[in-house]
Amino acid sequence: MIDFMLTDCSTHLPFLYIGMEHLRMMNLPLAQEYLDGAHDLCDSDPLLLNELGVLAYHQDQSVHALSDESSSDHSTYRLDIPDLTAQ
């Protein structure tokens, strides 16, 4: 793994993809470390911002995830989904 890390540090994508795999395996501390490393290199990738939001959701920090989403420069779309269980 160290050889992989030393090959190219000019892009955030290796850190992003490794962080996504740790997130998929619910290894949240390592996912946080890799996604933060990717965010240090590139803070405007929509996929990275989404994965940080998913990480925050899994860490029960949904308020933090929403505040990060609203502070980004990208336009966001919100869906109003009706509650189908309430009758």
How does pLDDT run across 9-30, given as a tens digit for each residue? 689 999 999 999 999 999 999 9
Spatial contact of 32 and 64, defined as CB atoms under 8 Å apart: no
Extents of the domains making up the chain: 9-65
3 pLDDT band (50/70/90 cuts)? very low
DSSP label at 48? H
pLDDT (tens digit, 9 = 90+) per residue, 30-51? 999 999 999 999 988 999 999 9
Tell me what the mean pLDDT of segment 66-84 comes to: 50
Residue 16 CA to residue 39 CA, distance in Å, equals: 8
Q: What percent of the chain has pLDDT over 70?
A: 59
pTM of the predicted model over 0.85 = no
Q: What is the DSSP string of 21-42?
A: HHHHTT-HHHHHHHHHHHHHH-
Instruction: Give the span between the Cα atoms of 16 and 21, in whole angstroms.
Output: 9
